[in-house]
Chains A and B, each alone.
Chain A
Amino acid sequence: MNQTHRLSGGQIDRDRVLNFTFDGQAYKGHAGDTLASALLANGVRLMGRSFKYHRPRGVISSGSEEPNALVELRTGARQEPNTRATVAELYDGLTAQSQNRWPSLAFDALGVNDLFSNFLTAGFYYKTFMWPRAFWEKFYEPIIRRAAGLGSLSMEADPDAYDKGFQHCDLLIIGAGPAGLAAALTAGRNGARVVLADEDFTFGGRLNAEVEEIDGKPARLWAADTVAELKALPNVRLMRRTTVLGAFDHGIYAALERNADHLAVPEADMPRQTLWRIYARQSLLCAGATERMIAFQNNDRPGVMMAGAMRAYANRWAVTAGRQVAVFTNTDSGHRTARDLAALGVEVVGVIDSRPSATALGDYPIFAGAQVIDAKGKLGLTGVTLRRSDGRTQTLACQALGVSGGWNPNVSLTCHQRGRLVWNDQIASFVPGGTLPQGMRSAGAAAGHFSTAQALQSGIEMALAALDSLGLKTTPLPCPRAEDGAYEVTPLWYVPEGKGRKWLDFQNDVTVKDVKLAHQEGFRSVEHLKRYTTLGMATDQGKTSNLGGLAVMAEATGQSIAETGTTIFRPPYTPVALGTLAGRAAGKGFKPTRLTPSHHWAVEQGAVFVEAGLWLRAQYFPRKSETHWRQSVDREALAVRKSVGVCDVTTLGKVDVQGADAAAFLNLVYANGFAKLPVGKCRYGLMLREDGIVMDDGTAARLAEDHFVVTTTTANAGPVYRHMEFVRQCLAPEMDVQLISTTEAWAQFAVAGPNARAVLTRIVDPEHDLSNAAFPFMACGEITVCGGLRARLFRISFSGELAYEIAVPSRYGEALIREIMAAGEAFDITPYGTEALGVLRVEKGHATANELNGQTSADHLGMGRMVSDKKEAIGAVLSRREGLNDPAGLRLMGFEALDGSTTLPAGGHLFATSAPQQGVSEGWLTSVAYSPHLGKSIALGFLERGQARLGEVVTIANPLQGQSLTARVVSPHFIDPEGERLRG
């Protein structure tokens, strides 16, 4: 039988038949269906299992708040867990599986939990599983973890793309029911820039679910006409399938647009979803209201649902969950359901209205002053038992029960900035109050206006108010004529009769008894209640359950609900895929990749690359005969010491410092003196943070009286520039000095080795004298190369060899490396990467990031005396604190292995050989390298009283890798300590 429960009418396209499967069973539905409506059409009421007791559950809502009908949608890498069947648009070929059950939905082995529910009350797990101690991780917890959880992930990488976008508007309208549409029309006609967003795939909200008229035509046609007019307005953007997730500071909203969830797979180049950041000057919340349950015994049977949902399924989707239906209500909402279903030919066996004075709205049996006290049918409702006003019980056979306990405004977004809700006695619910997010108002049912006429009216008024606040000229809109019934509710939160379980939070299996137990045990504040019972922590975040739980607690404490309080709604309004929040930033696109000017050339050379922050740098350049990276690195390092090598050092930060006070400025920024540095000279600079710890080091080159170029380490290029701007703007505002970062503007290469000058002479234009006398160690200058190209030349050395760094505008960087390689051919010039660079600098004893880790003082580096006390400098005062200058404190030293076969471990801890290897060590190794020059493993490291321990053999404890080694303490300058080579 196909679509046995389909009625006439509805907003489905009966000409388009869609095939789908649920738990492997094939079904048919129509375009316009949701998975839930299509399943109901096929007589399927059992759609899920609850979290804790694995109770059989059916759909209770027709919206995003659905706590029960959660499925795994799609298969393979696109499988998505916990998708609400109520918002999953049907498409041809849809496949869905029920979840949290084994082996099948109808027979779930863990349904046994339900039998023991009396033992598994709220918080039971805090009171047991404590013995024996070791059993928690090994035994109890694995069982609990396996049983817990809802749906499962495929564990495959998500194949879909996600996008992000920005929008700006005068007025963001959240929800396109009667209030939202009226507001959009008002603002749109008045010329404001409007964004109208609705989570549904059809605009109109409840108007699609109700039988009523606006301006004399069916309400859903009024909605369609209004949408058509809005579409024609260029200043209005309509966004269906778009959920506003959160309200953030200063009128920024996050919204999720589902671009392709209604398709089997996204079309080519189509994102699955888009995260919009909407910058709204004003916003209007028209998110409607959510119907609430009345708890009674077994009110969770599949087939029990909200009366408004039952009506929506009938009117919009032409579906009934049962041939015979009953309604349990304390408002007129239930009667509308009975009236509409009866009109569609469904047998309404009775409306049970707890209000003694209730009257019928149509031709169906009414039980005024009665209450439903039980529901029968484990896997699907078969009947309800009621207590009539005359005190007698009666059983009605039915397959579906619509329940209406009243409606709660959807106020979540008003709370995202911690606005406090206000209790409204008339609707017995909370309405927006206190401080709303900047520029936000509410209208319609979200503001507690429950008739269509009131919704339209408040939508218009609030839109006008929003526009007025922006100073826009407005003309009011005539309010359309519509139903204006008074909303009357006599709160009934739960039916007192009966000892069985009465369900409040369906997904998390929280009952009236659980709330009372929480009260009994002292968990009485709202937050304690929530956390102890898990009430409201399910995927609906309490939209269907919170108020009921609060009401039970209020009754127990004897306080009003308003005094009992409410938990805080937090973003997101409905759960959002993590992929959407991440957007394109996945895989290699996680962060930008910065390439050096010589990158493409290095690729041609077969270089191996390594990440250095966001940069990709050549790590080494293997030759065909080399099978281990060490062979390449040793060769490169030796080549530098023997002849000449070239390395791209563009990644070092560069800051141009210009102005009459440039020297004075650097004198303030660096701990050592810069005021007297001659033009044409470089100087090593030690930069401290204000707390006296070394921030960075580098060189400053004085190209002119009023012009310096400062270099920083690669990692600190950004922070150092920011710091220098802070000093300039905030601490030295009177100085005539300007800064600009030129890291990307200049390509820079180190040319190092005894033949460095010989190579450069072939490139540098002949009018520039590179002789040792004319351009000595630490000289710098602006020159030209290759026949007139402007360049900068610095005679600085990281390797300890005769060395230069040469810079040209970045776009010539690749050309320059090729020129240098050609010029160096005669000297067998060797390109070297970051590994050899590291070896050379360890051999020379230069500190880098491993040593300058933000915990190092100048004294630790043996540079305490560089911190001048003759001038003002950032960090100088606090660098003199005793804790940073302990005579028994750490000192940067060199360490060498006692033989050629030992490899020293960076991160190994240092102890005197006589000391036990435990507790606080005397230091650690920061950087290690195999020195091909010395033929052994060497290291830099910090050692307590290191300067007094030259020659001592110390223990290196590396228990992490089961090692205990020894090394000799030596000077950190392994190569040429006198500095003769670099001055040659």
Chain B
Amino acid sequence: MRYSALRIAYEALTGHKGWTPAWRDPAPKPAYDYIIIGGGGHGLATAHYLSKVYGKARIAVLEKGWIGGGNVGRNTTIIRSNYLLPGNEPFYEFSMKLWEGLEQDLNYNAMVSQRGIMNLFHTDGQRDAYRRRGNAMILQGSDAELLTAEQVRKEAPFLNFDNARFPIKGALMHRRGGTVRHDAVAWGYARSADSHGVDILQNCEVTGFRIEQGRIQGVETSRGYIGAGKVGVAVAGSSSRVMAMAGMRLPIESHVLQAFVSEGLKPLIPGVITFGAGHFYVSQSDKGGLVFGGDIDGYNSYAQRGNLPLVEDVAEGGMALMPMIGRARLLRMWGGIMDMSMDGSPYIDRTPIEGLYFNGGWCYGGFKATPASGYAFAHLLATDRPHETATAYRLDRSLSGRMIDEKGVGAQPNLH
């Protein structure tokens, strides 16, 4: 079924009887050529591109719970391609370009909204670092502007310019950055993949891999054994648990990241603002809620909930940056489990087990990567070669000393 304004009008006038499920609920087949483990954004995107772009068939996505229930369903919806390092920036710029055509590709309005991202700086050193970054972005085909404090004031007059502990000296503006309606990304990919014949199997938990002579044969699941030609794992947050079933240890820790939303407010914040000096970032959703967050809690966790000190820390950052939000109320907070990698960058790679592929380590930045991650993972699954924008995301990069450490904090996941 094709979605359009006309279709809505037709259905409205005929009692909405014609709407069909956005995706089927099929029974598992005995075997597939490709099994994607993980019905989150990355897994569903992989299935979409694998079927639509690479023309593959006999594909299943296996999801333990309900699709879109992982980090694609609990994030702060930001998209951006403002990375510094050569291993990252082309990949995220590729992702941005896919975002820019997403709705037409999927026939699903995910509300990709490029309202801009402003990274504030407060010292000359930070300005120099942002100049390096902004130039790298432009040289790699993205966009960036270096704003003076006065220009920042024009963009966001409500920021604390007059009584700030860390005065705002300017910002790196990335106009094509913005936000996307996160759930719709999962649903849009699922619907499209389904329409290209992909079986989306919910409530289908993988309980083991069948590996013979170093080659993957299939997966044991809560709905029975399913044979597979190739298996791609995209279960960020649970990567260590799933890959342990294949006998692998990963350069990944699981950490909790909290995010927050306020009650609905009339529009006040145009784009996304990040306040590095205060570990705080904020945007406003189309519904009017301020969506904001800060650091990860900082300790290993699979509990999907955080603790109070971080909540206070984030609120303090918010009040320091925007003292007019004091009377806005926090409505809801939640925690998601992040694959925190040892250098802060992801992995899209083959594994030592033939036919088993891994996609993970996205830290708290996986959402913006969803299209490119799916595309690159599909490319790898289909061709056995890394996508040209994802060649650096190798599992052995720490062995050779080619880490992609944007923040420069080293092999300590909770600092990334």
Point out residues on A near B: beta carbons under 8 Å.
51, 78-82, 118-119, 121, 124-131, 133, 136-137, 141, 144-146, 148-158, 160, 162, 164, 246, 248-249, 252, 254, 275, 277, 416-418, 513, 517, 520-523, 525, 527-528, 531-532, 534, 539, 541, 570-572, 575-583, 585-591, 593, 610-612, 689-693, 695, 849-850, 853-855, 878, 881-885, 905-909, 917-921, 924, 926-928, 957-961
Let me know if B113 and A581 touch, CB within 8 A.
Answer: no
Knowing A126-B184, A246-B308, A854-B410, say if A960 contacts B319 (CB, 8 Å): no
In the complex, what distance in Å separates the CA atom of A330 from the CA atom of B181?
40
Is residue B55 contacting chain A, with contact meaning CB distance below 8 A? no
29 A-B pairs in the complex with CB atoms less than 8 angstroms apart: A81-B263, A81-B328, A126-B184, A127-B4, A127-B8, A141-B113, A146-B267, A149-B288, A150-B263, A152-B265, A158-B324, A517-B16, A520-B16, A531-B183, A570-B332, A570-B334, A572-B330, A572-B333, A578-B327, A587-B320, A850-B129, A883-B397, A907-B133, A908-B131, A909-B136, A909-B139, A928-B128, A960-B135, A960-B138
Knowing A254-B308, A881-B400, say if A582 contacts B12 (CB, 8 Å): no
In the complex, what distance in Å separates the CA atom of A572 from the CA atom of B263?
12
In the complex, what distance in Å separates the CA atom of A691 from the CA atom of B317?
32
B326 partner residues in chain A, CB cutoff 8 A: 157-158, 160, 162, 577-579, 582, 586
Nearest A residue (CB) for B405? A855
Let me know if B331 and A578 touch, CB within 8 A.
Answer: no
Distance from B302 Cβ to chain A, minimum over Cβ atoms (Å) = 11
In the complex, what distance in Å separates the CA atom of A164 from the CA atom of B316?
12
Let me know if B66 and A581 touch, CB within 8 A.
Answer: no
Let me know if A522 and B25 touch, CB within 8 A.
Answer: yes
Let me know if A576 and B329 touch, CB within 8 A.
Answer: yes
CB contact list, B1-37 vs A, under 8 A:
3-5, 7-9, 12-13, 16, 19-23, 25
Let me know if B333 and A958 touch, CB within 8 A.
Answer: no
Knowing A157-B323, A578-B318, A611-B122, say if A148 contacts B109 (CB, 8 Å): no
Let me know if A125 and B109 touch, CB within 8 A.
Answer: yes
B399 partner residues in chain A, CB cutoff 8 A: 881
In the complex, what distance in Å separates the CA atom of A517 from the CA atom of B15?
10
Is residue B303 contacting chain A, with contact meaning CB distance below 8 A? yes
A689 partner residues in chain B, CB cutoff 8 A: 410-411
Is residue B210 contacting chain A, with contact meaning CB distance below 8 A? no
Let me know if A82 and B329 touch, CB within 8 A.
Answer: yes
Let me know if B264 and A82 touch, CB within 8 A.
Answer: yes
Knowing A141-B286, A160-B326, A578-B318, say if A920 contacts B86 (CB, 8 Å): yes
Knowing A248-B307, A587-B160, say if A141 contacts B329 (CB, 8 Å): no
The 8 Å CB contact of B16, one of A121, A588, A919, A961, is: A121
Let me know if A960 and B401 touch, CB within 8 A.
Answer: no
Complex interface: stretch among B100-108, B222-230, B232-240, B348-356: B100-108
The 8 Å CB contact of A588, one of B3, B163, B262, is: B163
In the complex, what distance in Å separates the CA atom of A523 from the CA atom of B133?
42
Closest 3 CB pairs of A and B: A854-B408, A907-B131, A881-B401
Is residue B98 contacting chain A, with contact meaning CB distance below 8 A? no
Let me know if B165 and A578 touch, CB within 8 A.
Answer: no
Knowing A521-B20, A575-B263, A691-B403, say if A909 contacts B135 (CB, 8 Å): yes
Let me know if A150 and B407 touch, CB within 8 A.
Answer: no
**Which of A127, A248, A525 has most chain B Cβ within 10 Å?**
A127
The 8 Å CB contact of A119, one of B8, B68, B331, is: B8
Let me know if A905 and B131 touch, CB within 8 A.
Answer: yes
Is residue B305 contacting chain A, with contact meaning CB distance below 8 A? yes
Is residue B272 contacting chain A, with contact meaning CB distance below 8 A? no
Let me know if A585 and B112 touch, CB within 8 A.
Answer: no
A885 partner residues in chain B, CB cutoff 8 A: 401
Knowing A582-B316, A586-B323, say if A521 contacts B21 (CB, 8 Å): yes
The 8 Å CB contact of B3, one of A126, A153, A905, is: A126
Knowing A575-B331, A849-B125, say if A522 contacts B23 (CB, 8 Å): yes
**Which of B86, B144, B146, B187 has most chain A Cβ within 10 Å?**
B187
Distance from A620 Cβ to chain B, minimum over Cβ atoms (Å) = 13
A119 partner residues in chain B, CB cutoff 8 A: 8-9, 12
The interface bits of chain B over 95-128 (1 if a CB of A lies within 8 angstroms of the residue's CB, else 0) are 0000001011001111111110000001101011
Distance from A468 Cβ to chain B, minimum over Cβ atoms (Å) = 28
Is residue B130 contacting chain A, with contact meaning CB distance below 8 A? yes
A920 partner residues in chain B, CB cutoff 8 A: 86, 139-140
Let me know if B327 and A80 touch, CB within 8 A.
Answer: yes
Nearest A residue (CB) for B130? A907
In the complex, what distance in Å separates the CA atom of A611 from the CA atom of B99?
39
Let me know if B134 and A960 touch, CB within 8 A.
Answer: yes
Nearest A residue (CB) for B200? A522
A125 partner residues in chain B, CB cutoff 8 A: 109, 111
Is residue B287 contacting chain A, with contact meaning CB distance below 8 A? yes
Distance from A417 Cβ to chain B, minimum over Cβ atoms (Å) = 7
Nearest B residue (CB) for A571? B333
A579 partner residues in chain B, CB cutoff 8 A: 319, 325-327
Is residue B372 contacting chain A, with contact meaning CB distance below 8 A? no
Let me know if B327 and A883 touch, CB within 8 A.
Answer: no
B319 partner residues in chain A, CB cutoff 8 A: 158, 578-579, 582, 585-586, 590
Knowing A148-B264, A585-B320, A587-B165, say if A527 contacts B19 (CB, 8 Å): no
Beyond A539-B331, A579-B326, A586-B323: 17 further Cβ-contacts under 8 Å? A81-B328, A127-B109, A149-B266, A149-B287, A151-B265, A522-B22, A525-B65, A527-B73, A575-B329, A577-B330, A578-B328, A591-B320, A884-B401, A908-B135, A918-B141, A957-B135, A959-B139
Let me know if A918 and B139 touch, CB within 8 A.
Answer: yes
Distance from A363 Cβ to chain B, minimum over Cβ atoms (Å) = 44
Distance from B8 Cβ to chain A, minimum over Cβ atoms (Å) = 6
A588 partner residues in chain B, CB cutoff 8 A: 163-165
Let me know if A148 and B288 touch, CB within 8 A.
Answer: yes
Let me know if A118 and B12 touch, CB within 8 A.
Answer: yes
B19 partner residues in chain A, CB cutoff 8 A: 517, 520-521
Let me know if B405 and A961 touch, CB within 8 A.
Answer: no
Let me know if B128 and A850 touch, CB within 8 A.
Answer: yes
In the complex, what distance in Å separates the CA atom of A527 from the CA atom of B202?
13
Distance from A458 Cβ to chain B, minimum over Cβ atoms (Å) = 28
In the complex, what distance in Å separates the CA atom of A878 from the CA atom of B402?
12
In the complex, what distance in Å separates the CA atom of A651 from the CA atom of B101?
51
In the complex, what distance in Å separates the CA atom of A610 from the CA atom of B124?
10
B329 partner residues in chain A, CB cutoff 8 A: 82, 575-578
Is residue B388 contacting chain A, with contact meaning CB distance below 8 A? no
In the complex, what distance in Å separates the CA atom of A571 from the CA atom of B307?
10
Let me know if B264 and A149 touch, CB within 8 A.
Answer: yes
A921 partner residues in chain B, CB cutoff 8 A: 135-136, 139
**Which of B136, B141, B318, B319 has most chain A Cβ within 10 Å?**
B319
Knowing A158-B327, A921-B139, say if A582 contacts B129 (CB, 8 Å): no
Let me know if B316 and A585 touch, CB within 8 A.
Answer: yes
Distance from B269 Cβ to chain A, minimum over Cβ atoms (Å) = 10
Let me know if B325 and A578 touch, CB within 8 A.
Answer: yes
A958 partner residues in chain B, CB cutoff 8 A: 131, 135
Let me know if B109 and A417 touch, CB within 8 A.
Answer: no
Knowing A590-B278, A611-B166, A881-B399, say if A137 contacts B114 (CB, 8 Å): yes
In the complex, what distance in Å separates the CA atom of A139 from the CA atom of B302?
42
Let me know if A907 and B113 touch, CB within 8 A.
Answer: no
B400 partner residues in chain A, CB cutoff 8 A: 881-883
Is residue B69 contacting chain A, with contact meaning CB distance below 8 A? yes
A162 partner residues in chain B, CB cutoff 8 A: 326
A79 partner residues in chain B, CB cutoff 8 A: 327
In the complex, what distance in Å separates the CA atom of A145 from the CA atom of B304?
30
In the complex, what distance in Å separates the CA atom of A850 from the CA atom of B122?
15
In the complex, what distance in Å separates the CA atom of A150 from the CA atom of B323?
20
Let me know if A136 and B111 touch, CB within 8 A.
Answer: yes
A144 partner residues in chain B, CB cutoff 8 A: 286
Knowing A126-B108, A150-B288, A853-B408, say if A577 contacts B328 (CB, 8 Å): yes
A128 partner residues in chain B, CB cutoff 8 A: 3-5, 8, 109
Is residue B132 contacting chain A, with contact meaning CB distance below 8 A? yes
